[in-house]
Structure 1
């Protein structure tokens, strides 16, 4: 297991949960140095914008954050390495819960659908910025291809995904639909 105790989030927005009384709105906007550091972390050419509008609601020691994440970034094509501009605008939901401490670091645990939205925290602080950064990371398409991908495949002598794989032989049979 990787030691994350020395990890310093590039886009940290720490919040004391005691400040999340009732419903509170939070606007997060990454500055240039934060965007540069996140682009390096996520293997992007650059991030031009990363922002989130979140509404927080605290229920005892649990904090729910709902809102939208917006980002504009440039990613290299997975085949040709050409720059591809990507815009992201999607809803987000996080539930911050106190660490349970009832499992060992390498222990396998069962998760249900509601657990997947939960982010554990210790003490009285949560990091909204890191949650937004992780949402961006999950939204990045690792196999994104641009308009020059087919030409790059041909010049390298590689077929398209449709030309290889388990269904390529069936395609050649000439079956009619």
Structure 2
């Protein structure tokens, strides 16, 4: 299946010298990305990446920027969110078998090369998706929770109920 925002770079065009590639999603691609990631809209999505080949594979570094609209996880209100994320990937040839590879802390995330190209658009889309807050809260979320009777963490200690006696016992016993 072709990704919604596909910008393939053929392997035979990538050399050891750095090359900058700028990509930007079109309206239909953004609409399909919003549907894929379950958000209201992707208003803009772009990336400026530097690519080059080295002994370990193909390096892609740069920034992914954009603007998306998510729904507040409490109220459902639309929230506009700015995206500005670094991207640092190493595209590698597929590994044979189920070998486990130890990576150092400063190692780049790796993506296996499929076919004769790397897809910079898909890399940008996935970077955008990883930057999204899975439970975004808008400015009215706290008030909506309060109206619904949900107690905040700061108020939880003042609540009385069936377990308040156990909490007091725990304090008494030094726990």
TM-score bracket, normalised by the shorter chain, equals 0.7 to 0.9
CA contact 1:12–1:127 (8 Å) conserved in 2:
yes
User: Contact 2:85–2:127 at 8 Å: present in 1 too?
Assistant: no
1:120 alignment partner in structure 2: 112
2:66 pairs with one of 64, 71, 74: 71
In the alignment, structure 1 residue 92 sits paired with structure 2 residue 87: yes
How far apart in 2 are the matches of 1:144 and 1:81? Answer: 10
- 1:101-129 per-residue CA deviation (whole Å, 9 max, x = no partner) reads 2229xxxx465346661001133211111
Matched, 1:140 2:132: yes
* Unaligned stretches of 5+ residues in structure 2: 158-163
Aligned to 1:11: 5
TM-score normalised by structure 1 residue count: 0.80
Q: How many angstroms apart in 2 are the aligned matches of 1:131 and 1:33?
A: 18
| Larger gyration radius, structure 1 or structure 2 | 2
- State the distance in 1 between where 2:101 and 2:53 align: 26
Structure 1 gaps, min length 5:
1-6
CA contact (8 A) 1:54 1:65 kept: yes
Number of residues of Structure 1 aligned to a counterpart in Structure 2: 158
Q: CA deviation at 1:143?
A: 1.5
TM-score for the superposition, normalised by structure 2: 0.81
How far is the alpha carbon of 1:162 from its aligned partner?
Answer: 4.2
Task: Specify whether residues 150 and 11 from structure 1 end up closer, same or farther in structure 2 by C-alpha distance, changes over 3 A only.
Answer: same
Aligned positions of 1:1-177 closer than 5 A: 7-21=1-15, 22-60=17-55, 62-103=57-98, 109=100, 111-112=102-103, 113=105, 117-164=109-156
**Conserved? CA contact 2:60–2:88, under 8 Å:** yes
Q: CA RMSD, aligned part only?
A: 2.4
User: Cα gap change, 1:88/1:157 in structure 2, threshold over 3 Å: closer, same or farther?
Assistant: same
Instruction: Give the 3-state SS of the residue equivalent to 2:80 in structure 1.
Output: strand
Partner SS, residue 147 of structure 1 = coil
